[in-house]
Chain A
C-alpha cells in the first residue's frame, strides 16, 4: 500500500512559533487534501488543492501545492495550543477517487 510521506512525524513547539509540515510522493495527484484529527475523533477537512502551484490560506494556515502536483506543504504562523493535533494529507493519484493518506504529523503546541 502506497503511503504519502509526511515530515516531520512529531513536532513540539512553543506558542507563537512558526512551523511547516511537508507531504511528499513520487506520484502526481489529481487533488490533495489536508486534515486535522484530534484523539478519538474523525479527521476534519481543512483544505483541498487541485492546481499545481496553488496557494490557499485559512487564517494562520497556508497550504501550497507543488508545481508538479507531487508534494504539498502546510505552514502555520504563530502557532497556538488550539492547533495541537494530528495533521494528515491525502490524495487521489488516478482520478478514480481511490484516496491514500499520509502517516501524519503529530503537532503539540505548548502554552
Chain B
C-alpha cells in the first residue's frame, strides 16, 4: 500500500530537548516536504526536498532542520524546541507537482 508514515503520532516534550520526527515513503517519490498546521494560520511549509541531498527552506524554517540522505526518508529535527513550535506536523511526498500523499500527522506539544 502506497503510504507516507510519520512517527511518533503524538509527542509531549520539554523546552530545549532535541527531538526528531521521522517520515518515510514507499513510493519512490523524489519530492518530500514538511508542514505545520495551526488554527487560523492554515498549513505552512517548513522545508522541502527535491531529491537526495537537495533541501530548501519553505515559509517557516526557523528552529527546524531536515536531512535527505536517502530517497525514502525525510526526518524533521528540532534542535531546541520551544513552546511556539507546539503544532500539528505533516510530512508529504509526490513525484512532482504539489504534495500528493500526506502522512497521518504528528501532534507535538512543547511545555
Residue numbers of A with Cβ under 8 A of B are: 1, 3, 31-33, 40-45, 48, 50, 88, 90-92, 96-104
Is the Cβ of B104 less than 8 Å from the Cβ of A42? yes
Is the Cβ of A31 less than 8 Å from the Cβ of B97? yes
A-B CB contacts (within 8 Å), total count = 71
Which of B13-21, B40-48, B69-77, B79-87 is near enough to bind chain A? B40-48
Alpha-carbon separation in the docked complex, A100 to B35 (Å) = 10
Residue numbers of B with Cβ under 8 A of A are: 4, 31, 33, 35, 40-45, 48, 50, 56, 58-60, 90, 92, 97-105
Q: Which residue of A lies closest to B105 (CB)?
A: A42
Is the Cβ of A43 less than 8 Å from the Cβ of B102? yes
Is the Cβ of A45 less than 8 Å from the Cβ of B100? yes
